[in-house]
Structure 1
Amino acid sequence: MAAMISSTVDSSTFRAEKRRDYDDAVRRTKRLGTALAVISILVLWHFLALYNRPWVPSIADTLRSMQAALSGAQFYSDMLITWRRLLLAFLTATLVGVSIGVVVGFNKKAEAFCAPLIALALAVPDPVYIIFANLAIGTGELAGYIALVLAIVPFVINVVRTSVQARDVQLDEMSKIYHIPAGRHFQHVIVPQLVPSLLTAARFSFALSWKIVILVEALTQPEGIGARIYNYFHMLRMRDAIACAILFCVLMQLAEKVIFLPAEKRLMRWKS
């Protein structure tokens, strides 16, 4: 008996060690891939700067421009304006998209009505929403918000609807057999199955929001990071435009890791 227990413990320890070795190998591969990608981009950038000046600034000139932007107050002012627009559009689009996606996923009649509209909305290019919002409302900030929400909501609806329809229907039948109340069924059966798709929808909505908000600001707004990049480009100050774009992209990537990675670990903890 003692030998069997010892053998089981040794087997569990061996599997744990193998799992740690595998995770370490995966992390090393990811770090190596990231390093190679960054080096490749820098090498390509260097050669493009050598043969396409002044349209492609050198890495050193861009770094100096980034330092100058970070040392000035105007960059932070524009960043706050863009962040306000981004967060408002992201929260609105996510809440509206998740709500509609859940309803469409559960209701066959709602799906029959919304499916063609969702397909049409997914096919419309983002600049079209911006143009129609400006024509209908004007070039004010409200038009930008509406264009952002309209461009993002269809993608969120589609992700959530697909997840709802892919849920385990047998769990719904089991809840009916045991007469589990609808509220407890939704909380303990439906929500855990939707958490991965909700996280995916939120991350996708955030990623799409900060890309489209730059486009909206460049086309319609006098302030913000998008307007700043467009003005630099209009004045042929390419190194300032690229420096501002890089700073914004880096900040958005950091924000995504700070916001979504901890939330994902916390919400998906039940799986482990």
Structure 2
Amino acid sequence: MTTRASRKSKATSSAACRPLGGLPGPRSGRLHNVEIGKQPAPPPLMRALASLPAGRLGAGVVAVGSMLLIWHVMSLYFRPWVPDIGATLTAIGQQLQSPGFWDNFFLTLGRVLTAFVAASVVGAAIGLLIGLNERAEAFFQPLLALALAVPDPVYIIFAILALGTGETAGFVALTIAVVPFVTNIVRSNVHARDRALDEMAQIYHLPRPVRLMAVLVPQLVPALLTAMRFSFALSWKLVVVVEAIGQPNGIGSAIFHSFRQLRMREVAAIAIIFIITMQLLERGVLGRIEKRLLRWRD
């Protein structure tokens, strides 16, 4: 009985393995003309992307390559308004060898640093005051909301109309335009501080200077660094706008002068040099300061 059952089982299994409907079964080792275990080769573009280094370096390479490709295509269809890459590189070399460019560059850099320091200090001080004092917050809150809603060029235009086209007008316009953003960042983080630490300082009767420097400021270091980076990024952009509108010299004035003469290669060259320099300062100087002050988090 056992032998008959086993034979019957083998016959049933062999019948189940036969092709249905007389269709030919799959050939051994191949399925639809593709070898089992092997995949078709990817297209060349996918192979090129796969060969790029992984991580932030690979992402940077892809981003720069995409920007250059878009620039090249636009230079083919929008000449002479979009200069080609080769002509722009030649113009960059000419600007780097020009003494007039460096005069404008260092003048603009001085204005950027002055506006950045003034806006950071004033904005941080007002933010601390608003965050710690309810009466000050009640007074400054409507003004802060209004200042954040006003477009930045409005400050520049009114400052030039009121104070002329000198250095004072640009400094006042930049400071007024940047301060509200710094104030808002610092005030929000003061409100989000750990109240339990304030109660501990009050229980131990710590003096106010000690409370400020040992309890409050360490909690606000990340917010202050964020406010500084935002202030710097906004300052150098607005400085260029101020110079283009109402200053006879500087990077913004040079860009506007080249644009009026339709020398688009010079416009692109000056802008690229200045943008790269500002990014190096922001990421190199401010980035290193941020890493050093926040090293305790690691």
> Scaled by the length of structure 1, what TM-score is found?
0.88
**What residue number does 1:38 align with?**
64
Equivalent residue number for residue 235 of structure 1: 261
Aligned equivalents of 1:48 and 1:261: distance in 2?
A: 34
Aligned-residue identity in percent: 53
Equivalent position SS for 2:79: coil
Matched, 1:217 2:243: yes
1:61-102 residue CA offsets vs partner (Å, 9 max, x unmatched): 000000000011111100011011111111111110011110
Matched with 2:26 is none
**Letter of the structure 2 residue corresponding to residue 218 of structure 1:** A
For residues 261 and 134 of structure 1, what CA distance do their matches in structure 2 show? 34
| Residues in 2 aligned to 1:123 and 1:182: alpha-carbon distance in whole angstroms | 35
**Alignment partner, residue 145 of structure 1:** 171
Distance (Å, rounded) in 2 between the aligned partners of 1:37 and 1:258: 20
How many residue pairs match? The answer is 246
* 1:258 to partner: Cα distance: 2.2
CA distance in 2, matches of 1:54, 1:242: 12
Pairing 1:194-209 to 2, within 5 Å after superposition:
194-209=220-235
RMSD: 1.1
Q: Does 1:118 align with 2:154?
A: no
How much has 1:238 moved relative to structure 2? Answer: 0.5
Question: Is 1:79 aligned to residue 92 of structure 2?
Answer: no
Structure 2 portions without partners, runs of 5+: 1-52
SS across alignment from 2:112? helix
Greater share of helix: 1
**Are 2:289 and 1:263 equivalent residues in the alignment?**
yes
Question: In terms of Rg, which structure is larger?
Answer: 2
* Deviation of 1:270 (Å): 2.6
Cα-to-partner distance string for 1:16-74 (whole Å, 9 max, x where unaligned): xxxxxxxxxxx942111111111111000000001111110000000000000001111
Q: Give the distance between the partners of 2:54 and 2:122, measured in 1 at CA.
A: 40
d(CA) in 2 for partners of 1:265, 1:103: 27
Query: What TM-score results when the alignment is normalised by the length of structure 2?
Result: 0.81
1:182 Cα offset (Å): 2.1
* Secondary structure of the corresponding residue to residue 222 of structure 1: coil
Which 4+ residue blocks in structure 1 deviate beyond 4 angstroms?
A: none
Identify the residue that residue 272 of structure 2 maps to in structure 1: 246
Once the two structures are superposed, what CA deviation does each residue of 1:80-137 show, in whole Å capped at 9, x if it has no partner? 1101111111111111001111001101111111111111101111110011101111
DSSP 3-state at the match of 1:195: helix
Deviation at 1:265, TM superposition (A): 1.6
Matches within 5 A, 1:31-70: 31-70=57-96
Judge which range, 101-110 or 176-185, deviates more. Answer: 176-185
Please list every run of 5 or more consecutive structure 1 residues that lacks an aligned counterpart in the other structure.
1-26
Shift of 1:269: 2.1
